[in-house]
Amino acid sequence: MLALAAALGLVMGVVIGGLGGGGGVLTVPALVYVLGQNAQDATTSSLIIVGITAAVGAAARIKGRGVDWRNGIALGVIGIPAAYLGTLLNHHVSQPVLLLAFAALTIVAAAAMLLNARREPDPDTDTEDTTSVSPSSPGATATALRKRPARSALLLTAGEVVACGAAVGFLTGFLGVGGGFLVVPALVIVLRMPMALAVGTSLLVIVLNSISSMVSRFGVTHLDWHVIAPFTIAAVLGTLLGKRVADRLSGATLTKSFAGMLVAVGIFVGIQSLIAL
């Protein structure tokens, strides 16, 4: 059991370290279907495992400005009350329904990550277009005019950022997932954040959401530390390995591969949940 938990933790850690999220969507099914925990205990165990692993991943990215503290803390704080509400709902939902919702979320996560992979080259294209226009050229005025609506649009996305923080917080409390697979695309698409910075910032949001969800769960569910401890230790090592892998490979390639895995997990959990209804 210890070796199996460690092996699963290593895989989850590599995913979080490489992609800045997605570990929770693997951790919960692993705890339920492989290690035999019920859905409520698994979602609580997942919060501890994913939260600690994300904290190590974020710490590894602090050097070189790998974390946007302002936006990360804002999203995390917005998600605190939503995470509490999600935790309350978690205790009043049957296991098949909870896992069915979890399966649906993995499909949404796969779509979000594929969208993120498609948009990843855009910043380079935008940079080339901007630098190709000199201040004295006739196109400079048009470029400046285009920047004004862009700034206004960024202000208008404040509501979307709040909605994103609340949604991620709720899902963290309800399903025991960190929400990084939703935060990363949101940071890139809504805030136009570079992928590398979005990954590190997502880890910070995961930590804050996991802490707020765990506070509301103390004393409510059973924690099997014989599973959680080796799983977490291996996941921490895995997240450092995942960062090294991500530094060497294309982010789009990693994202597309993981999206395919999410679809497989979602289909498996969904079928099992429908059978159990």
Residue 136 within a domain? no
Q: Considering only residues 254 and 91, tell me which one the structure prediction assigns the higher pLDDT.
A: 91
Residue 165 within a domain? yes
For 109, the domain range is 2-130+142-276
Which amino acid is present at 110? Answer: A
Residue 99 within a domain? yes
pLDDT in tens, 127-179: 444 344 444 444 444 444 344 455 555 555 677 778 888 888 888 788 777 66
Residue 217 within a domain? yes
Residue 135 within a domain? no
| Interval 244-271 mean pLDDT | 77
Mean pLDDT, all residues of the chain: 76
Of 181, 199, 158, which is closest to residue 72 (Cα–Cα)? 199
Q: What is the pLDDT of residue 127?
A: 41
Q: What is the pLDDT of residue 274?
A: 85
Q: What is the pLDDT of residue 233?
A: 93
pLDDT beyond 60 at 123: no
Q: Considering only residues 215 and 138, tell me which one the structure prediction assigns the higher pLDDT.
A: 215
Residue 137 within a domain? no
pLDDT in tens, 64-89: 667 888 888 888 888 888 888 888 88
Residues in the chain: 277
Q: What is the pLDDT of residue 130?
A: 39
Handedness of CA 84, 234, 183, 265 (dihedral sign): negative
Q: Are 18 and 254 in contact (CB under 8 A)?
A: yes
pLDDT in tens, 182-197: 777 777 777 778 777 8
**What SS3 string covers the chain?**
CHHHHHHHHHHHHHHHHHHCCCHHHHHHHHHHHHCCCCHHHHHHHHHHHHHHHHHHHHHHCCCCCCCCHHHHHHHHHHHHHHHHHHHHHHCCCCHHHHHHHHHHHHHHHHHHHHHHHHHCCHHHHHHHHHHCCCCCCCHHHHHHHHHHHHHHHHHHCHHHHHHHHHHHHHHHHHHCCCCHHHHHHHHHHCCCCCHHHHHHHHHHHHHHHHHHHHHCCCCCCCCCHHHHHHHHHHHHHHHHHHHHHHHHCCHHHHHHHHHHHHHHHHHHHHHHHHHHC
Name the domain count of the chain.
1
Residue 30 within a domain? yes
Structure-token match 């979000």, residue found: 112
- The first and second tokens of residue 243, run together, are 């960062």
State how far the Cα of 54 lies from the Cα of 61, in Å rounded to an integer. 11
